[in-house]
Amino acid sequence: MKKKRPAFPSGVDTGHLRKALTDELIKHSRVIAACSRAGAGAPLPKEGRTQSMTGRKRSLSGIKPTGTPHLGNYLGMIRPALQLQKTHDAFYFIADYHALTTVRSPAEMRAQSHELVAIFGALGMDFDQHTFFRQSDIPEVTELTWLLSCVTPMGLLERAHAYKDAQAKSVELNQGVFSYPVLMAADILIYDSHEVPVGQDQKQHLEMTRDIAQRFNHIFGETFVIPEPRIEEAVATIPGVDGRKMSKSYNNELPLFSTEKELRKKVMRIVTDSKGVEEPKDPDTCNVFQIYRHFAAPEDLKEWARRYREGGVGYGEMKQAAFEAINALVGPHRDAYFELRGDEARLEDILARGAAKARRVARTVLNRARERVGFRAMENP
Ligand code: ADP
Ligand code: TRP
């Protein structure tokens, strides 16, 4: 019979090695037990396992700290997201990892991040009941991005609109731009998110997130909740002052919060054709009307459409009505915005509390994914 080889060469005192190994094993099993208590490892029930104490479903969304937040952001994402606070456990964050694909100024990164906290606060985000945080405070998300990258087909990323646009525009094309959708999938999946309120332009990203999650679940077993996009069909895409999609990157935005004077100035800059006051106009193709319609009461809108078609109304008059309607909506929140924006310590405190809450959930879900692929779970920070 073949003699069993000793684990260690004879003559070596293995006592301390054995002890070190045993200690390591005990520590490891404690970690695993802790993680299992936190929810990792067990099969995933339908509703996910990191729900709030209230048992509500989770809504999650992110917004990049780039440029001036505008009315398109408000109607497409911020307003629906804030409404979901009534029914969901809301997790909203500042997508600064994503912003780093383009932002090169640390001062701008910080200032725009603070601006977003102040905006959400002024518009009614409840920072105590819900969770508002900075993406880069949760480094777990970058690790999950790697796990997801390893099941994401290159072809899927090559088809992404944002990447193709960047390629066409020959702007700086870094690898972050290419893997942007995987980072976004990690953002969503790491919080067991059920619903994701976003504007129409994010639809493809949500589809990719679902694809990636399904693929991972198929290969490694139930791990992630498959999220649903929540897109306000009536809002679709808000045009900017030049008629293209209102966007921070096109410099065509109507800012969400500025002084009344600045807002009026911007509204007066909305581009129109050169039809005279008396000429009949088409409300469906008029830029001012298309912006106004999102802020007007239905009766007023009907009346303006009638007057447009009939003739006798000038663009200046329509712009004044648009300004008043927008101002009626944002005006009441303006003071709260400026007050919060000026209180840096409070803004940082809000972000720190949000990060602590978000990180606990992120760690639990990341551990679940780590175990599924054959890595060990790690202790919660
Ligand atoms: P931007 O395109 O101005 O850089 P972001 O990419 O940060 O803005 O978008 C933040 C959120 O606002 C996303 O959910 C996006 O779909 C939404 N959004 C942005 N622009 C518009 C728009 N013009 N109309 C409707 N929703 C928009
Ligand atoms: N890509 C989104 C945008 O440009 C921002 C974002 C990053 C996001 N991560 C997300 C939105 C997760 C919803 C969910 O607007």
Q: Does residue 96 line the site of ligand 2, with CB under 6 A?
A: no
CATH number at residue 315: 1.10.240.10
In ligand 1, the atom with minimum distance to the C-alpha of 200 is 16
Computed over every residue of the chain, the mean pLDDT equals 89
Separation of 205 CA from ligand 1 center, angstroms?
Answer: 13
Q: Are residue 336 and residue 348 in the same domain, yes or no?
A: no
Identify whether 7 is part of a domain: no
Identify whether 40 is part of a domain: no
Specify the higher pLDDT residue, 11 or 66: 66
How many angstroms separate the CA atoms of 14 and 16, rounded? 6
pLDDT band at 50 (very low <50, low <70, confident <90, very high): confident
**In this structure, how many other beta carbons lie within 10 angstroms of the beta carbon of residue 236?**
14
Burial class (CB in 10 A: 0-12, 13-18, 19+), 114: buried
Q: Are residue 185 and residue 297 in the same domain, yes or no?
A: no
List Cβ<8 Å contacts ≥24 apart for 1-10.
Answer: none
How many angstroms separate the CA atoms of 257 and 278, rounded? 34
**Contact at 8 Å (CB) between 37 and 43?**
no
- What Rg, from alpha-carbon coordinates, does the chain have? 26
Nearest ligand to the CA of 103 is 1
Identify whether 69 is part of a domain: yes
Q: Does residue 354 line the site of ligand 1, with CB under 6 A?
A: no
Q: Can you give the residue range of the structural domain that contains 300? A: 260-340
Separation of 71 CA from ligand 1 center, angstroms?
Answer: 9
How many angstroms separate the CA atoms of 274 and 285, rounded? 13
Q: Which residues contact 349 (CB under 8 A, 6 or more apart)?
A: none
Helices (H), 342-377: 344-373
Identify whether 285 is part of a domain: yes
Identify whether 205 is part of a domain: yes
Q: Are residue 335 and residue 353 in the same domain, yes or no?
A: no
Q: Are residue 206 and residue 264 in the same domain, yes or no?
A: no
Atom 10 of ligand 2, nearest CA residue: 62
pTM, entire model: 0.86
Identify whether 30 is part of a domain: no
How many angstroms separate the CA atoms of 173 and 311, rounded? 48
Specify the higher pLDDT residue, 16 or 335: 335
Structure tokens at 253: 């935005």
Q: Does residue 245 line the site of ligand 1, with CB under 6 A?
A: yes
Structure tokens at 287: 């830029």
Separation of 367 CA from ligand 2 center, angstroms?
Answer: 23
Q: Are residue 175 and residue 322 in the same domain, yes or no?
A: no
How many angstroms separate the CA atoms of 271 and 260, rounded? 20
Least confident of 9-13, 73-77, 246-250, 359-363: 9-13
Atom 8 of ligand 2, nearest CA residue: 62
Q: Does residue 194 line the site of ligand 1, with CB under 6 A?
A: no
Identify whether 50 is part of a domain: no
Q: Which residues contact 360 (CB under 8 A, 6 or more apart)?
A: 380
Q: Are residue 170 and residue 273 in the same domain, yes or no?
A: no
Separation of 238 CA from ligand 1 center, angstroms?
Answer: 9
How many angstroms separate the CA atoms of 303 and 312, rounded? 13
Separation of 232 CA from ligand 1 center, angstroms?
Answer: 12
Q: Are residue 220 and residue 282 in the same domain, yes or no?
A: no
How many angstroms separate the CA atoms of 197 and 104, rounded? 28
Least confident of 35-49, 108-122, 134-148, 275-289: 35-49
Residue carrying structure tokens 């200690």: 23
Q: Are residue 217 and residue 269 in the same domain, yes or no?
A: no
Please count the structural domains in the chain.
2
Q: Are residue 350 and residue 325 in the same domain, yes or no?
A: no
Q: Does residue 98 line the site of ligand 2, with CB under 6 A?
A: yes
How many angstroms separate the CA atoms of 374 and 257, rounded? 49
Identify whether 27 is part of a domain: no
Q: Does residue 321 line the site of ligand 2, with CB under 6 A?
A: no
Q: Are residue 128 and residue 271 in the same domain, yes or no?
A: no
Atom 11 of ligand 2, nearest CA residue: 62
**β-strands 131-134, 89-94: how paired?**
parallel
Mean pLDDT of 357-374: 97
Q: Are residue 79 and residue 97 in the same domain, yes or no?
A: yes
Which tens digits make up the pLDDT trace of 133-162?
Answer: 999 999 999 999 999 999 999 999 999 998
Mean pLDDT of 106-121: 98
Q: Are residue 224 and residue 211 in the same domain, yes or no?
A: yes
Q: Which residues contact 12 (CB under 8 A, 6 or more apart)?
A: none
